[in-house]
Amino acid sequence: ALSQRLREQQPARLGTDTLVYAVASGKGGVGKSSVAANLAVALARTGKRVGLLDADVWGYSVPQLFGVRRSPVALKGLMLPVDAHGVRLMSVGFLVGDGEPVVWRGPMLHKALEQFLTDVHWGELDVLLVDLPPGTGDVTLSLLELLPRAALLAVTTPQVSAQTVATRAGRMAADLRMPLAGVVENMSTLVCECCGERTALFGSGGGQRLADDLGTELLARIPLDAALRHAGDTGVPVVAGAPDAPSALALSDLAARL
């Protein structure tokens, strides 16, 4: 029902059939970018045509997570997204030098984000994932305005403090009349590499509480997994590099539910 509703509203320049998910979190460090990147790869592995727009302006990490050092090429005034691990990528990080900070002010940022949607040749996409900056700031609001069709996918950890700030992001979505796709709880349990035992390092229940608060579903619980961290550091998303790792299995299940 949700996918039907999303298809009925139409964003600029994207095909009518493209489902748009905005991946959001209340604060940084909960694994929002890792979830967005791996979800994109997992969806691509099911045969879908997937784009990932890294709009986490100050904390962009998609080039690193995908091991991409190339810049997008321009063709007839449009930028071509960079293909990696089966996903079409565009990142703020591609537009600034290696390791450079983004020092644009509000109006320039807004313009850049707009161009990501209008001047990028995404081609036919089944799904576009947007990795939002954490919180409910200007960039998030600009983007959501530009993507009236997006559904919010809220990422939190099981910890109460993370869940309460994530609730604010979720409420923002409700205020903007955005549909909620659901909640992803990341860093749910720590899986012991030796014996497989699971420990609730960051407590438990935050994902379910957030889903209840927002009146939506808890779609996935992704364990804390050294394989995911290692994959991110080496530029091969865990879903592609170690598809049997506990986090990769949970992320593939999540892809199947969207």
Binding mask 239-258 for ligand ADP (x = CB under 6 A): --------x-----------
Burial 114-132 (b: 16+ CB within 10 A, else e): eebbeebbbeebbbbbbbb
The answer to whether residues 179 and 2 touch, using CB atoms and an 8 Å cutoff, is: yes
The answer to whether residues 56 and 131 touch, using CB atoms and an 8 Å cutoff, is: yes
The answer to whether residues 90 and 53 touch, using CB atoms and an 8 Å cutoff, is: yes
Q: Is 191 annotated as a binding residue?
A: no
Cα(23)–Cα(20) distance, rounded to whole angstroms?
10
The nearer residue to ligand ADP, 18 or 21, going by C-beta atoms, is 21
The answer to whether residues 240 and 65 touch, using CB atoms and an 8 Å cutoff, is: no
Q: Is 27 annotated as a binding residue?
A: yes
Map the footprint of ligand ADP across residues 181-200, applying CB under 6 A: 186-187
Q: Is 76 annotated as a binding residue?
A: no
Asked whether the CA dihedral 144, 146, 149, 155 is positive or negative, the reply is negative
Q: How near is the Cβ of 33 to ligand ADP at its closest, in Å?
A: 3
The answer to whether residues 158 and 202 touch, using CB atoms and an 8 Å cutoff, is: yes
Residue 203 binds ligand ADP, judged by CB under 6 A = no
- 196's enclosing H/E stretch is none
DSSP label at 171?
A: H
Q: How near is the Cβ of 129 to ligand ADP at its closest, in Å?
A: 13
The nearer residue to ligand ADP, 80 or 190, going by C-beta atoms, is 190
Q: Is 28 annotated as a binding residue?
A: yes
Q: Is 30 annotated as a binding residue?
A: yes
Map the footprint of ligand ADP across residues 12-71, applying CB under 6 A: 25, 28-34, 59, 61
Q: How many residues does the chain have?
A: 258
Question: Which member of 63, 158, 170, 232 binds ligand ADP (CB under 6 A)?
Answer: 232
Find the helix packing angle between 246-257 and 226-234, rounded to 10°: 80
Cα(12)–Cα(87) distance, rounded to whole angstroms?
20
The nearer residue to ligand ADP, 50 or 228, going by C-beta atoms, is 228
Number of residues that bind ligand ADP (CB under 6 A): 19
Binding mask 144-183 for ligand ADP (x = CB under 6 A): ----------------------------------------
Q: How near is the Cβ of 208 to ligand ADP at its closest, in Å?
A: 17
Give the residue numbers of the binding site for ATP: 26-33
Chain positions contacting ligand ADP, by CB under 6 A: 25, 28-34, 59, 61, 186-187, 222, 224-225, 228-229, 232, 247
